[in-house]
């Protein structure tokens, strides 16, 4: 074999039987082959297991899928190249012309955009309510055939809490699928509710350090199989190296989530007592309007704390610009603390009434609490609140 040939057919090094790596190797390969054409044909006919092309499946991404399914307490999972890809793929795969979708004002902006603009182009209609409008949810589900209900809890950014038991019971009775973007609550929460599909942005708590994008859809074997049918051609695949980084991040998921939630709870209490703050949004605070419901549904209240500053938009600007330890950046759930203002989250798609119902005011700021020392974070917040209040 000449050297130009050799570099394309390097020597294989396989682990001998009885010897294993503690960290599974990254299968950074797009292609897999079988010994013979006959075996390849058997694979295509579904008569033997294996891998062929990583757009459809790959051992490293599969390891991540199996782990996430188990964490969320469902049979199967499909991972995607970003959280938004998981949302888009689910919506596109599950709806057809003439279907109706129930969605909410308090939903991640791109999800609302997908429903309104993308599904709308294909003849899918929708109704958008507030997640707290129990009567409206009941009325729509009883009066209009609905393919799916898509929702979040706690919601972004003002941490409203969906009544999961009521919502899932009513949707089930109406024959509608429930799709929950569970990114804020994490993989260890809400699995005991009758939710059909959980969506996650793996970019957030799974990765933890914000160096990789990823998404997941988790549900029954049957639903995930039906999503997989379109998956290979929609192409929103997660790269194996990204899957490896997310698997690595998940090793510390529980300690991070719990430690960051504990800091968030202290910071929420600190903000609630501060004179420059009009209102704090954190489901762990007894003053939260749905604290009792949140306490019944969740073990950890999460790492997102929002508050409305008394001085409105100007105060929010001074606050965000004065903070030293909170990066003025998108995303959440990473080990460093982050801040975003209402202006950064603004959407022109909502009417004035919908804006009011969203609960976001000009002085709303959202904090994502990281792993820094909580005393340092509170000192930084105190300095920024002094600047905001002055
Ligand atoms: C609730 C929620 N869902 C989905 C996403 C999208 O995730 P990604 O940025 O990985 O596409 C985000 C991102 O901020 C989010 O906050």
The predicted-structure confidence for 13-60, as pLDDT tens digits, reads as follows 999 999 999 999 999 999 999 999 999 999 999 999 999 999 999 999
Q: b/e string for 270-299 if b means 16 or more Cβ within 10 A?
A: bbbebebbbbbbbbbbeebebbebbeebbe
CB of 215 within 6 A of ligand 1: the answer is yes
CB of 157 within 6 A of ligand 1: the answer is no
- Per-residue pLDDT tens over the stretch 190-226: 999 999 999 999 999 999 999 999 999 999 999 999 9
Residue nearest to atom 7 of ligand 1 (CA): 83
pLDDT of the residue at 101:
98
Indicate the pTM of the whole model.
Answer: 0.96
Residue nearest to atom 8 of ligand 1 (CA): 83
- HSE (CB half, 13 Å, CA atoms) of 105? 22
Strand order in the sheet with 215-219: 76-80, 215-219, 197-201, 177-181, 148-152, 100-104, 125-129
What is the mean predicted confidence (pLDDT) over 222-232? 93
**CA 238 to CA 201: how far, in whole Å?**
12
- Tell how far the Cα of 368 is from the centroid of ligand 1, in angstroms: 13
Of 3-12, 32-41, 50-59, 265-274, minimum mean pLDDT range: 3-12
H or E stretch including 247? helix 240-250
DSSP secondary-structure letter at 202?
T
Task: Choose which residue among 151, 201, 218, 330 to substitute to test ligand 1 binding: the one with the highest number of ligand atoms within 8 A of its C-beta.
Answer: 201
What is the mean predicted confidence (pLDDT) over 170-187? 98
The rounded mean pLDDT for the chain is 96
103 close to 128: Cβ distance less than 8 angstroms: yes
Residue nearest to atom 6 of ligand 1 (CA): 83
Residue nearest to atom 10 of ligand 1 (CA): 83
CB of 153 within 6 A of ligand 1: the answer is no
**CA 126 to CA 340: how far, in whole Å?**
29
pLDDT of the residue at 84:
98
CB of 181 within 6 A of ligand 1: the answer is yes
**CA 387 to CA 390: how far, in whole Å?**
5
- Tell how far the Cα of 42 is from the centroid of ligand 1, in angstroms: 39
107 close to 347: Cβ distance less than 8 angstroms: no
Task: Choose which residue among 68, 79, 81, 108 to substitute to test ligand 1 binding: the one with the highest number of ligand atoms within 8 A of its C-beta.
Answer: 108
CB of 163 within 6 A of ligand 1: the answer is no
3-class secondary-structure state, position 380: helix
- Per-residue pLDDT tens over the stretch 323-368: 999 999 999 999 999 999 998 887 778 898 999 999 999 999 999 9
* The token pair that represents 258 in the structure block: 């719990």
What is the mean predicted confidence (pLDDT) over 292-318? 97
pLDDT of the residue at 343:
87
Q: Is a pLDDT exceeding 90 seen at residue 232?
A: no
- Tell how far the Cα of 79 is from the centroid of ligand 1, in angstroms: 14
H or E stretch including 376? helix 374-389
CB of 207 within 6 A of ligand 1: the answer is no
* The token pair that represents 63 in the structure block: 């390891």
CA quadruple 59, 61, 67, 68: dihedral, nearest 10: -160
- Tell how far the Cα of 73 is from the centroid of ligand 1, in angstroms: 21
- Tell how far the Cα of 179 is from the centroid of ligand 1, in angstroms: 15
Number of Cβ within a 10 Å radius of residue 38? 9
- Tell how far the Cα of 171 is from the centroid of ligand 1, in angstroms: 24
pLDDT of the residue at 238:
97
Q: Is a pLDDT exceeding 80 seen at residue 179?
A: yes
CB of 331 within 6 A of ligand 1: the answer is yes
């Amino acid at each position: 074999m000449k050297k130009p040939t050799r570099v394309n057919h390097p020597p294989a090094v396989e682990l001998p039987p009885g010897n294993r790596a503690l960290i599974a190797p990254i299968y950074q390969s797009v292609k897999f082959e079988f010994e013979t054409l006959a075996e390849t044909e058997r694979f295509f006919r579904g008569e033997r297991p294996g891998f062929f092309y990583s757009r459809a499946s790959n051992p490293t991404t599969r390891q991540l899928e199996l782990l996430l399914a188990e964490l969320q307490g469902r049979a199967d999972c499909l991972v995607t190249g970003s959280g938004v890809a998981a949302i888009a793929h689910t919506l596109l795969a599950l709806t057809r012309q003439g279907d109706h979708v129930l969605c909410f004002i308090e939903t991640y902006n791109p999800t609302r955009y997908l429903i309104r603009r993308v599904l709308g182009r294909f003849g899918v209609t929708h109704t958008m309510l507030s997640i707290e409008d129990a009567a409206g949810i009941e009325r729509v589900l009883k009066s209009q055939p609905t393919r799916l209900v898509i929702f979040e809890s706690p919601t972004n950014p003002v941490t409203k809490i969906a009544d999961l038991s009521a919502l899932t019971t009513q949707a089930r009775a109406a024959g509608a699928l429930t799709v929950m973007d569970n990114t804020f609550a994490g993989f260890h929460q809400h699995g005991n509710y009758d939710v059909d599909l959980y969506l996650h942005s793996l970019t957030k708590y799974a990765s933890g350090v914000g160096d990789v994008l990823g998404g997941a859809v988790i549900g029954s074997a049957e639903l995930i199989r039906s999503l997989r049918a379109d998956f290979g051609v929609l192409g929103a695949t997660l790269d194996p190296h990204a899957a490896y980084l997310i698997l690595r991040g998940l090793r510390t998921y529980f300690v991070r989530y719990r430690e960051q939630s504990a800091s968030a709870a202290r910071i929420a209490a600190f903000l609630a007592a501060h004179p420059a703050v009009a209102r704090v949004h954190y489901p762990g605070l007894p003053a939260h309007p749905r604290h009792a419901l949140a306490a019944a549904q969740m073990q950890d209240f999460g790492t997102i704390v929002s508050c409305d500053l008394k001085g409105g938009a100007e105060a929010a600007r001074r606050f965000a610009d004065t903070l030293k330890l909170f990066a003025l950046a998108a995303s959440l759930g990473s080990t460093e603390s982050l801040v975003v203002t209402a202006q950064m989250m603004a959407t022109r798609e909502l009417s004035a009434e919908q804006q009011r119902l969203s609960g976001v005011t000009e002085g709303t700021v959202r904090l994502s609490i990281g792993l820094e020392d909580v005393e340092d974070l509170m000192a930084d917040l105190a300095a920024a609140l002094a600047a905001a209040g002055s």
